[in-house]
Amino acid sequence: MSSFSIVDLIVAKREGRVLSDEAITWLLDSYVAGTVADEQISALLMAIFFRGLNGAELGTWTDTMIASGERLDLRGLSRPSVDKHSTGGVGDKISLILAPLVAACGAAVPQLSGRGLGHTGGTLDKLEAIPGWRARLSNDEIVAQLEEVGAVICAAGDGLAPADRKLYALRDVTGTVESIPLISSSIMSKKIAEGTNALVLDVKVGRGAFMKEYDRAAELARTMVGLGTRHGVATVAQLTAMDQPLGRACGNAIEVLESIDVLRGRGPADVRDLTIALARTMLELVGIDVDPAPMLDNGRAYEVYCAMIAAQGGDPTAELPLGVVRDVVTADRSGVAQVVDAYDVGIAAWRLGAGRARKEDAVSAGAGLHCLVRVGDHVEAGQPLFELFADTEEQLAFGRSALATAVELGDEDVAAAPLLLEQVR
């Protein structure tokens, strides 16, 4: 018979009291075992949302989530392992380029990725636009591909941090997603269980990010770096701007195509610059003294990308689908782009069919848009601002309506904010 009562723990946290290590371990283990109900954990999550967790509580909470399942063992690899995680943004296809790029420089990159929800895209959704590509790999397949190719992007297995999988689904439907302790423990429990030697966190801040305020984004970065360091994972966080979309492509297949452009030495400068900056930090953390930039220009990163896709059953040379129902949104006046709102663009991509409102929703491989204007651009009346792709006229109309206020034009010359904001170590 347990000495703990879930109701007593809910009340304790509601009142702002500190939960003991033993209490946290008991309640998470009991939840995974099914002896504590969803509605009770929901109440506790809301109490944590308002009251938070102190450093000791958060450490034990994360430890218990890691211990709730298996851990991936990467110690036998012939190269050091390093991963990257983004907190999510609009047009953020960096993982598709970064994993093969860093692998081309000599590291092993185990990218356990997720799917999109709402206005933010998901790496797995993008890659599933490639014919034959599969997201689900066994632990043995992951390790073998890392040894042979150097990079893998796949779904986290069911056995990895199962407590997080249950908690995340509950947070999503109880309005408790935007909690720094809950976000940081969710991300870091999976990344630590993944077994990587080092980790770089790309923490987005701005209109299109979950963290819209700089101070909160910086707090999230510091919290996650602290958790990684506590577990012996060399961890650095890079705060990056997400006020306007990253690159020009937003969607699934359309972002894969832009990623391939960057991998072949072309593509938008902001995508290339951020990828190289993150790659340099990743390589520094594992002691590899190689400049990643030439690997984009000499074709080596693209070769690793093709090998990575082929190893997971995909055809890297296949023609990718783009929605057959298309339209262009044009400027209604001349002026200078003061704002290109990443959130509005993300909502538009979602409504075009590229995203989902619930985890079980299907997404369209071919839906999405090209963002043809950047902050500071001079625009003439009638000039195209967005090129839209959808599968149906209805989706096209939904997407178009979401862009009604996405671009603000004015008469003042403006410059876009820097992309790289601050590094947290």
Active site residues per annotation? 85, 164, 171, 186, 190
Q: How far apart are CA 353 and CA 379, in angstroms?
A: 28
Nearest-CA neighbor of 311 among 135, 174, 157, 191?
Answer: 135
Q: How far apart are CA 249 and CA 284, in angstroms?
A: 30
Q: What's the distance, CA 170 to chain centroid?
A: 19
Q: How far apart are CA 68 and CA 160, in angstroms?
A: 8
Q: How far apart are CA 82 and CA 236, in angstroms?
A: 11
For 95-114, the DSSP string reads HHHHHHHHHHTT-BEEEEE-
Structure tokens at 282: 């990743």
Residues 6+ apart with CB under 8 A from 206: 212, 241, 242, 243, 342
Nearest-CA neighbor of 265 among 289, 301, 310, 290?
Answer: 301
Nearest-CA neighbor of 322 among 361, 357, 352, 358?
Answer: 352
Q: Are strands 368-371 and 384-390 parallel, antiparallel or unpaired?
A: antiparallel
